[in-house]
Structure 1
Amino acid sequence: MHLEKFSDIYHRASVRKGGDTQLELRLTHPLSSEQIKHIPDDRWLSEFSMKVFQCGISWKVVRDKWPNFEELFFEFKPELLLMLSDEHWEIKAKEPKIIRHLAKVMTIKSNAEMLMNARLEHGSFSQMVASWPAERITELWDYLKKNGSRLGGNTGAYALRQMGVDTFILSSDVEGYLRSYDIIDGGRDTKKSRLAANKAFCHWQKESGRSMGEISQIIAFSCGDNRV
């Protein structure tokens, strides 16, 4: 495994995007741990649910319908949703103003249970995420896959980043880069590949002082088709 200097990665991305200023304008930045601690459970559940519904469907179509989801599912408040019977869930899944997909609708219930269990164990899901070590961020992905529903692959990671958590994403561009430098050589979602990727990002984080999310985006901008 050979790790390229981050300054070289940055320079290549900068050239491709029209200079440092233009590159910096394209980057999104994570929230602080203190800010993450104050995210309410309903916003996590809304984002997890949106990402589940966006799998295999135009993201814009899902976003446009999301106000209807918020209304139908009590603004994604777990306590209220977990009071619903299976019959009520089936009725909601048939509502024409949302995307009718029973299996995906039922993930809302499962992921609400995950959030409530985290509350019992850690005080809140947000507290747990805010204190999760960066050097083990892929284990948080594993937590979502194991304890949630349909949050494996990149789905959970994308949701975390959207919520402001500092995480990298194994997008096609980033995965391609890591493979080209033999940082990963097995399946993208294997424990070995994720740990190797996590180790590399920790190295670049110490080298550059940047967040993992920024590093991930810069790598994507430095190569491939720029799917960040």
Structure 2
Amino acid sequence: MEHFDNIYNRACERKGGEQAISGLLGTSVSNQQIAEYDDSRILSAFTKKVFQSGFVWRVVENKWSEFERLFFNFEIEKVLMMPDELLEKRASDPAIIRNAKKVMTIRDNALMMHDVQVEHQTSFAKWLADWPSSEITQLWLYLKKHGSRLGGNTGPYALRALGKDTFLLTQDIEAYFRSQKLIEGGLTSLRNLKIIQNCFNTWQQESNYDLQSISQLIAYGVGDNYVGMQGPHE
């Protein structure tokens, strides 16, 4: 695998130098900040990404205040008390995106979060904050297994929206790992996830950048990403 310096220098060459790169990189938030979130904020983020998956993100964003109104601002306890009949009624409301299966995920994911609260005797936010980024793919797998429609890129994108430090397996990131012959076969096989996680952990140790920034730097050095071009990478 490449040393981080090669990844960084390539991104700088393509995007106009170190100053330009520094202005392009996003930042995650501290675990302390995440621990202070209200759990309703997390359920909201999960729900938004579920509805944005395969849909026009802007439309979901424009309707979000109605989602909040109809689902009690995503307060876990209130959502858990919603019977099937009420969820079905909400799913037919034109004020939101009318997708019954996705609406049902709201209560399902509230239940997942409640189970974590009970098992660990803490808020979901604190549990999430305590999860080490060095094992972020294991968190992805947890959300996929125990949550509803949080597999694929949906869970990771929700974590990124919350500020949890994570890389993303975008097309550019996949292209990089395949071009370097680091992975083969299915992108999200357990073997490949372990390889990818180990690579990111090594680059983090070499650079002190967070996973999000490393992910972006890799993407900026792939394909047609040159000065003035904003691709689909991050």
TM-score range, shorter chain: over 0.9
Written as runs of structure 1 = structure 2, the 5 A alignment for 1:8-47 is 8-47=6-45
Written as runs of structure 1 = structure 2, the 5 A alignment for 1:156-171 is 156-171=155-170
Secondary structure at the counterpart of residue 142 of structure 1: helix
Query: Residues 68 and 98 of structure 1 are in contact (CA less than 8 Å); yes or no, is this contact kept in structure 2?
Result: yes
Specify the alignment match of 1:133 in structure 2. 132
Specify the alignment match of 2:172 in structure 1. 173
Give me the identity figure in percent: 47
Query: Residues 82 and 112 of structure 1 are in contact (CA less than 8 Å); yes or no, is this contact kept in structure 2?
Result: yes
RMSD value over aligned CA atoms? 1.0
Written as runs of structure 1 = structure 2, the 5 A alignment for 1:68-79 is 68-79=66-77
Q: Which consecutive residues of structure 2, in runs of 5 or more, have no partner in the other structure?
A: 224-230
Shift of 1:226: 4.6
Partners of 1:160 and 1:131 in 2: CA distance: 13
Check if 1:193 corresponds to 2:192.
Answer: yes
Check if 1:65 corresponds to 2:85.
Answer: no
Amino acid of the residue matched to residue 194 of structure 1? L
**Normalised by the size of structure 1, how large is the TM-score?**
0.96
Specify the alignment match of 2:51 in structure 1. 53
Shift of 1:129: 1.5
Secondary structure at the counterpart of residue 23 of structure 1: helix
Shift of 1:135: 2.3
Check if 1:219 corresponds to 2:218.
Answer: yes
Amino acid of the residue matched to residue 174 of structure 1? I
Partners of 1:26 and 1:60 in 2: CA distance: 22
Check if 1:145 corresponds to 2:151.
Answer: no
Partners of 1:226 and 1:180 in 2: CA distance: 18
Closer/same/farther in 2, CA of residues 226 and 208 from structure 1, 3 Å limit: farther
Stretch moving more, 182-191 or 204-213: 182-191
Partners of 2:71 and 2:109 in 1: CA distance: 13
Shift of 1:208: 0.4
Query: Residues 166 and 212 of structure 1 are in contact (CA less than 8 Å); yes or no, is this contact kept in structure 2?
Result: yes
Stretch moving more, 101-110 or 179-188: 179-188
Find the partner of 2:78 among 77, 80, 85: 80
Amino acid of the residue matched to residue 186 of structure 1? G
The ranges of structure 1 where at least 4 consecutive aligned residues each deviate by more than 3 angstroms after the TM superposition are none
